[in-house]
Amino acid sequence: MRILFIGDVVGRSGRNVVCDRLPGLVRDWKLDFVVVNGENAAGGFGITEAIYQELLDAGADAITLGNHAWDQKEALVFIERAPKLIRPVNYPEGTPGRGSSLFEARNGAKVLVINAMGRIFMDPLDDPFTAVARQVSVCPLKREADAIIIDMHAEATSEKQAMGYFIDGRATAVIGTHTHAPTADHRVLAGGTAYMSDVGMSGDYDSVIGMAKDEPLGRFLRRIASGRFEVADGPATLCGLAIEVDDATGLARQVGPVRVGPHLQEARPSFWDGAS
- Please, are residues 23 and 58 in contact by the beta-carbon 8 Å criterion? yes
Provide the 10 A C-beta neighbour count for residue 96. 14
**Helices marked H in 62-183:** 75-78, 128-138, 157-167
Structure letter (DSSP) for residue 198: -
One-letter identity of residue 12: R
Burial of residue 151 (CB within 10 Å: 0-12, 13-18, 19+) is: buried
Catalytic annotation on 68? yes
At residue 208's C-alpha, the angle toward residues 204 and 212, to 5°, is 70
CA distance 245 to 152: 19
Query: Which alpha helices (DSSP H) does 99-200 contain, by range?
Result: 128-138, 157-167
Nearest to 65 by CA among 93, 95, 108, 109: 95
Which DSSP helix (H) or strand (E) runs through 225? Answer: none
Write out the catalytic residue numbers.
68
